[in-house]
């Protein structure tokens, strides 16, 4: 991106949040990391479980059957990309991830659903 003739770096994901996620997933078999959606995604068996988002907070892969319940009972909201709602993903703001318990609950949801998918 260029501003007044100067190059300005794109906003990166929260590295401290990514490290917190990494700590929760340490020891998971077939754990991988990949830059996706402008952030850092954590993959299990090649399937994204959770992503430290460049917009702050996280993107979490969830069972589409649980999506409406999670939207109604948590502070999560739909993930929209390119004007399209991604049914199997939710966005969770950083303010809802302050404690390790809050983050662990969301990482656990993402981990649990990613493990139900066939490896890639």
- Residue 52 contacts by C-beta under 8 Å, 6 or more apart in sequence? 13, 14, 15, 17, 18, 21, 39, 40, 58
All domains in the chain, ordered by first residue: 11-114 (3.30.1460.30)
The larger pLDDT score, comparing residue 42 to residue 8, is at 42
pLDDT in tens, 78-94: 999 889 999 899 999 99
7 pLDDT higher than 50? no
pLDDT in tens, 23-72: 999 999 999 999 998 899 999 999 999 999 999 999 999 999 999 999 99
Question: What is the spatial distance between Cα 107 and Cα 8, in angstroms, rounded to a whole number?
Answer: 32
14 pLDDT higher than 60? yes
Q: Which residues of 14-46 are buried (b: 16+ CB within 10 A; e: fewer)?
A: beebbebbeebbeebeeeeeeeebebbbbbbbe
pLDDT of 11: 61
pLDDT of 6: 46
Sorting pLDDT into bands at 50, 70 and 90, what band is 2? Answer: very low
Mean pLDDT score of the chain: 91
pLDDT of 108: 98
Whether pTM > 0.85 for this model: the answer is yes
């Amino acid at each position: 991106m260029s501003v007044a003739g100067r190059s300005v770096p794109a906003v990166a994901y929260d590295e401290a949040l990514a490290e917190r996620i990494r700590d929760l997933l340490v020891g998971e078999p077939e754990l991988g990391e990949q830059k996706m959606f402008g952030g850092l995604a954590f993959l299990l068996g090649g399937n994204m479980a959770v992503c430290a988002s460049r917009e702050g907070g996280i993107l979490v892969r969830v069972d589409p059957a649980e999506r409406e319940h999670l939207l109604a009972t948590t502070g999560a909201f739909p993930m929209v990309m390119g004007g399209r709602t991604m049914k199997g993903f939710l966005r969770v703001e950083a303010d809802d991830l302050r404690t390790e318990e809050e983050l662990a609950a969301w990482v656990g949801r993402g981990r649990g659903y990613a493990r139900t998918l066939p490896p890639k």
